[in-house]
Amino acid sequence: MKKAIITVVGKDQVGIIAEVCSFLAKNNVNILDISQTIIQGYFNMMMVVDISAIEKEFVDLSEEIDALGNHIGVNIRLQHEDIFNKMHRI
């Protein structure tokens, strides 16, 4: 299994989760774990996903989900699990 981390941050609005989940489903990305919260009107979501079944290059998927974020007005980042872990190691 290949895992990745997706973070979504931005001003809360209707449809953020629906847009992101629809994109992931269309690209054969399975959500393994998800956490989301809204703090003072700001939406924050973190997902652990399985990217084993994607049919395109990881970099292309990352660019497309970033573009989706720009379209809906939030910041979306997709990172390989190992890179995420190394960046956030204390």
Which CATH class name applies to 3-87? Answer: alpha beta
The sign one gets for the Cα dihedral 42, 40, 13, 18 is positive
Q: Is the pLDDT of residue 90 over 70?
A: no
What pLDDT does 32 receive?
Answer: 98
Q: If you average pLDDT over every residue of the chain, what do you get?
A: 94
Q: Model confidence at 82, in pLDDT bands (50, 70, 90)?
A: confident
Instruction: Report d(CA 67, CA 39) in Å as an integer.
Output: 24
Contact 77, 66 (CB under 8 A): yes
Q: Is the pLDDT of residue 9 over 80?
A: yes
What pLDDT does 87 receive?
Answer: 64
Q: Is the pLDDT of residue 89 over 90?
A: no
Q: Does the pTM exceed 0.95?
A: no
